[in-house]
Amino acid sequence: MQTEIEAKFLDQDHRAIRLCLQDLGAELLFPMRLMKRRNFDFPNGSLEKIAGWVRVRDEGNRLTLSYKQLNDRSLHGTKEINLTIDDFSAACDFLCALGLRQTSYQETQRESWALDGVSVELDEWPWIKPFLEIEAVDEKSLKAVVRKLDLDINQAVHGSVENAYQAEYDVTEAEVDHIPEIIFGPTPKWLEARRKV
C-alpha cells in the first residue's frame, strides 16, 4: 500500500487561502464541485477493527475505488490503494456482491489547486467549518507548501475526517464513522446538542 502524505488545517478561510494561492501562482485544477462517496465494510465490521474501509468516490472529474487504512494519526499514518473506475453504481454493486455493506453515504464540496506539484484542496463538509487538505508525494514538498501558505505544520491534523468533527463536537471517532448520511442541510439534533462552545 502507498503512504498517503497529507495534512489537514481546520477552520480555514477559503477566500483568503484562494487569494494566497493565486498570488503564489498556483494552478486551479477544478473549481468547487460536489463530491459524493459511499463507504463499505463487511457485515462483521472486520475492516473497522483494523481501522480500514473501502470507499467509492465521485470526485466530479473522476471516479475512484479505494481501500484506506488508518494506522495512526501521523503524517505517514494513512495507507491506501486507489483505482480509477468508470461506473460509480457498478462499483458499489460489485462490493455488495462480494459481501460488503454500505456503512455511510457522504457529500462534500472540494476545490482543487496545485502548487509546486503539491495538491491543495479546499474542503467543505456538512456541519463543520471549512478546512484545507494538503497532499504531496513526500514530506519535504508538503512542508514547503505549508510554509508558503503561512500555515503552522504543528497545527495540522492527520488521518480521516473524524478529527475535523471532533474539533467542533463532543463525539467519538466511532460516532462520526457511524453517521449513515453526511449531507448538506440542517445539523442533526443529536449532533447539534454536542457542539462545543
Segment 50-77, tens digit of pLDDT: 999 999 999 998 999 999 999 988 989 9
Mean pLDDT of 160-179: 95
| CATH of the domain spanning 2-192, picked from 2.40.320.10, 3.40.50.720, 2.70.70.10, 1.10.10.10 | 2.40.320.10
Q: Does 189 have pLDDT greater than 90?
A: yes
Pair 171, 194: CB distance under 8 Å: yes
* Per-residue pLDDT, 169: 98
Q: Does 15 have pLDDT greater than 90?
A: yes
Pair 53, 173: CB distance under 8 Å: no
CA angle 146, 150, 154 (to 5 degrees): 60
Three cell numbers, residue 118: 503539491
DSSP conformation class of 159: S
* Per-residue pLDDT, 41: 97
Q: Does 42 have pLDDT greater than 90?
A: yes
107/132 Cα distance (integer angstroms)? 16
Q: In 10 A of CB 28, how many CB atoms?
A: 13
Any idea where the domains of the chain sit in the sequence? 2-192
* Per-residue pLDDT, 197: 83
Segment 80-137, tens digit of pLDDT: 999 999 999 999 999 999 999 999 999 999 999 999 999 999 999 999 999 999 999 9
Give the amino acid at 127.
W
Three cell numbers, residue 98: 462480494
Contact partners, residue 26, CB within 8 Å, separation at least 6:
113, 114, 115, 120
Task: Say how far residue 87 (Cα) sits from the centre of its chain.
Answer: 21
* Per-residue pLDDT, 25: 98
163/176 Cα distance (integer angstroms)? 9
